Amino acid sequence: MHIYLMDILKIPIAKSKHYESHRCWDDIFDVIMNAKHLVYIIGYSVYTEIKLVRDSKRSKPEGDIKLGDLLKRKASENVRVNVLIWDDRTSVGSLKKDGLMATHDEETEKFFEDNDANCMLCHRDRDLSGSIVQDLQITTMFTHHQKIVVVDAAMPNGDTNRK
């Protein structure tokens, strides 16, 4: 679901000021578009068909590109693109490709085959001291949708020296 800027409530903070909301997905789109060296994405799932710019009232040049296509393009521009996602063990061939949790892990891995972007599925391994039930819980159930996005960006002072 996308929340439009006009729908965001004003959240009061100290001294009659209000929290200034930001546009996370738009910001992520901008930094990926401007990346020159690296884009690393780690998460529970990365769905290649999603569009980061979703508010039709705030269009951006090339804002209609899907995330997967944007990452492939950056990789073709010699930007190192690495995607690391959980391997959903419930993804079973043609029976249930997207897995019971609909992470689309197999589709994402296949999407990035034969191009310059790297995608790796990561198994969730159990603690050897756990029971069989705990093993099933750890390896097949997921509890969050966190993502980590690491992208190079220009220095605020304009310095271009790499350290």
Query: pLDDT tens digits for 80-100?
Result: 999 999 877 666 666 556 556
Structural contact between residues 62 and 33, judged by C-beta atoms closer than 8 angstroms:
yes
Q: What is the pTM of this model?
A: 0.75
Domains of the chain and any CATH numbers: 23-151 (3.30.870)
H or E stretch at 107:
helix 105-111
Q: Report the alpha-carbon distance of residue 63 to residue 28 in Å, rounded.
A: 11
Distance, C-alpha 37 to centroid of its chain = 17
The model's pLDDT over 106-138, given as tens digits with 9 standing for 90+, comes to 888 999 999 999 999 887 665 667 676 766 666
Nearest by Cα to 72 from 114, 29, 42, 133: 114
